Amino acid sequence: MGFKMFINKWLVSDSLNSPARKDWKGGFCLDLCDEPAEIQISDLYKDLQRLPVEHPFAILFSGKNSLAQKVNDSYIENIISLFFQPSYFLANDRPVVFLSDKAAWHTGFIEKLSEKCRNQGLSVLLLQTKNGKSIDRPGDQFAYEVTSADISYDAIIENWLSQYLEDKNPREIHFLFGAGEPGLTEILDEIRKKEMELHNTEHYKFANLAYKKQKLIEKYKKELDVKVSAEKSTQLYLSMQKKQTADNVEWYHHEYEILPTWYKRLGHVIKVLMGRRTFRSLFSDKAKKYKD
């Protein structure tokens, strides 16, 4: 699924063949804004195979076009299949889907997608994006569409810490950059400078440490769940084996006891003739029964 960090950057484009992708160091976010007929799923799979393994991949539903009335079940199934690609970005084993704050038109489509996922036992994490300047809207989702370098990192980190201290388990911070955004190179250069300053602040160091601790706890919980599940499976197997053995013994005793006496004695004689039992044991309980 690619690497995961406290702060993640995404290059948003309607194609994974965007020229801006060449020197990009973060994740790739595909804007599925076109009608289904214009999306060539087979070509998309090929593009995903060419993605560097260290770069995660995710989907954004923007507000450019409405998909609510234009999609069919097969298209939704194709989207769900993308969630199982090795490079798709997961949060606690849940595929992440970004929703633009202008994507209200997609409500019906998103509901249908979520229902299809639930029917397959898959839970999707929907992250509503905000404008990069909307730091005055605290919440448990930290996804921002960035159109300028005017980002208040301090306020975002403080909001994240506030959620953490309230035990609301905040997720990673995501910044989405449009591949066709005018002046993207300059914007990224300014943001890198701000990040260098941010990394030296005490509240960022504390937040980053808290995030790593949070991820470590989640990892241990997951490993514990796997061990508990394996232990339950082992106990169930042993219980089934024990029951099967008891049933076999009970069946043997029951079937043997209902046999007529003459039939049992004939079996002893056959054992003598086969050389497996001594002849004297037929007449004396003190005699050795079976030969070595």
Q: Which of 22-36, 154-168, 205-219 has the lowest mean pLDDT?
A: 22-36
Would 232 be classed as within a structural domain? no
Say whether both 282 and 175 belong to one domain.
no
User: Whole-number mean pLDDT of the chain?
Assistant: 79
CA dihedral 200, 203, 209, 211 (to 10 degrees): -120
pLDDT value at 39 more than 60: no
Residue 279 has pLDDT above 70, yes or no: no
Q: 126 forms bridges with which residues in the sheet?
A: 97
Do 45 and 189 fall into the same domain? yes
Higher-confidence residue: 175 or 291?
Answer: 175
- Do the domain assignments include residue 246? no
Residue 2 lies in a domain: no
pLDDT of residue 289: 61
Lowest mean pLDDT among 24-28, 33-37, 82-86, 222-226: 33-37
Statement to judge: residues 176 and 290 lie in one domain: no
Place 48 in a pLDDT band, splitting at 50, 70 and 90.
Answer: confident
Q: How far is CA 162 from CA 142, 158, 181, 210, 260, in A?
A: 12, 6, 32, 12, 82
**Element at 241 (helix H, strand E):** helix 202-257
CA distance 216 to 76: 34
Give 110-115 contacts, CB < 8 A, sequence gap 24+: 110/61, 112/71, 112/76, 113/76, 113/79, 113/80
Q: Are residues 31 and 125 in the same domain?
A: yes
Say yes or no: 43 and 145 in one domain.
yes
| Mean per-residue pLDDT, 140-154 | 84
Residue 243 falls inside a structural domain: no
Domain span at 288: 259-292
Both 115 and 33 in a single domain? yes
Residues 143 and 269 in one domain: no
Question: Does residue 73 share a domain with residue 158?
Answer: yes
Q: Are residues 290 and 172 in the same domain?
A: no
Within 10 Å of residue 16's Cβ, how many Cβ atoms?
18
How would you classify the pairing of strands 143-146 and 57-61? unpaired
Tell me the pLDDT tens digit for each residue of 105-141. 566 778 888 888 888 888 888 888 887 666 555 566 7
Assess if residue 245 is contained within a domain: no
Domain count of the fold of the chain: 2
Those residues with Cβ within 8 angstroms of residue 264's Cβ, 6 or more apart along the chain or in another chain: 256
Q: What is the pLDDT of residues 191-247, one digit of tens each?
A: 889 989 999 999 899 999 998 988 888 889 888 988 998 888 898 888 888 888 888
Measured CA to CA in angstroms, residue 51 lies from 27, 147, 162, 292 at distances of: 10, 25, 36, 71
Q: 284 lies in a domain?
A: yes
What is the structure's pLDDT at 292? 60
Tell me, yes or no, whether 171 lies in a domain: yes
Residue 176 and residue 289 in one domain = no
CA gap 233, 226 in Å, rounded: 11
CATH number of the domain that 95 lies in?
A: 3.20.20
